Amino acid sequence: MTVREVKVGNVVFGGDRTVLIAGPCAVEGLQMLQTVAGAARAGGADMLRGGAFKPRTSPYSFQGLGVEGYRMLDKVRREQGMPVVSEVMAVDQIEPALEYIDMFQIGARNMHNFTLLSAVGRAGVPVLLKRGFMATVEEWLMAAEYVVKEGNEQVVLCERGIRTFEPWTRATLDISSVPLVRGMGGYPVVVDPCHSSGRRDLLEPLSLAAIGAGADGLMLEVHPDPDKALSDGGQSLSVVDFEAIADKVHRLDEWIREHINSDTIER
């Protein structure tokens, strides 16, 4: 099955080049966002990410800056000329997001929120649909179908790991899902090694593995000072480390497309 292309501004998922999405887990302030975005852009990122609304297990954790965060993302995407993806957690966040955001992320915890999926489908904006951390591949494809059914085919899937008994990683990156959903569903797939592993030392090997498996892009958390991040710092990259990984990923991707994929028949 051929993977269908999804365009977000000048970025193409499922095209002839891997897409790198980079940025902080949460938008913490304008200046920090500008620093990360500028460095990520220079380091090879194609798209900016940043959470304005943050789904948190505890109601007492930092919940994000909300619409104010969307506005910061909007300002920075204009400055850098790069599209932005951010999470939409509820139907009433769609309206403001339409003005400020290029691609709507549906988080893992909302993959089964069918009301939200349908509403995002009707909004007609590109969607990045994360896999629920205990959803089967079939359920994930069905969730995408809730968006597509409303006439919106601009869906990119994001593998972020599933929950298992293994305690040394935050989740277990299900690398097999990459060729599975590309082959069975025809959707471009992005891999998120940060949430999958929760460990900085695994980000490079997992990024290269994802490219080997045929992923159409990667989503990486970058923070100007990872150890001071308000959320998920332990799995964020510094700007320098991001540049190093981005460079390797782009070179590997190019080489595989030229020397391996050309003679692949049923991949």
Q: Contact 86/51 with Cβ under 8 angstroms?
A: yes
Q: Does 137 bind its own copies (CB under 8 A)?
A: yes
194 binds its own copies (CB under 8 A): no
Q: Which of 73, 213, 220, 239 binds its own copies (CB under 8 A)?
A: 213
Identify residues 228-247 at the interface with its own copies (CB under 8 A): 244
User: What mask of x and - would describe binding to its own copies in positions 52 to 91, judged by CB under 8 A?
Assistant: ---xxxxxx----------------------------xxx
What six digits make up the tokens of 265? 């028949």
Contacting range for its own copies; rule: CB under 8 A; set: 17-25, 65-73, 200-208, 224-232: 200-208
**Choices 9-17, 19-27, 95-103, 257-265; region in contact with its own copies by CB under 8 A:** 257-265
Interface residues for its own copies in 1-20 (CB under 8 A)? none
Q: To 10 degrees, the CA torsion angle through 101, 103, 109, 114?
A: 110
d(CA 103, CA 230) in angstroms, rounded, equals 24
Judged by CB under 8 A, the stretch of 8-16, 72-80, 204-212, 229-237 that binds its own copies is: 204-212
Residue 130 forms beta bridges with which residues? 158
∠ CA 84-129-261, rounded to 5°:
90
* Residues 30-59, interacting with its own copies (CB under 8 A): 55-59
Report if residue 95 touches its own copies, rule: CB under 8 A: no
Question: How far, in Å, CA of 164 to CA of 40, rounded?
Answer: 32
C-beta closer to its own copies: residue 30 or 94: 94
Kindly state the number of chain residues that form the binding site for its own copies, as judged by CB under 8 A.
74
Q: How far is the CB of 18 from its own copies (least distance, A)?
A: 12
Produce one character per residue of 3-37: b if its CB has 16 or more CB atoms within 10 Å, e if not: beebebeebbbbeeebbbbbbbbbbbebebbbbbb
Residue tagged 């460095």 (tokens): 39
Least CB distance to its own copies at residue 204 (A): 6
How far CA 33 is from CA of 26, 73, 94, 240, in Å, comes to 9, 8, 22, 16
Which residues 170-189 are close enough to bind its own copies by CB under 8 A? 172-180, 183
Among 5, 145, 225, 228, binds its own copies (CB under 8 A): 145
**Residue keyed to tokens 């990045």:** 128
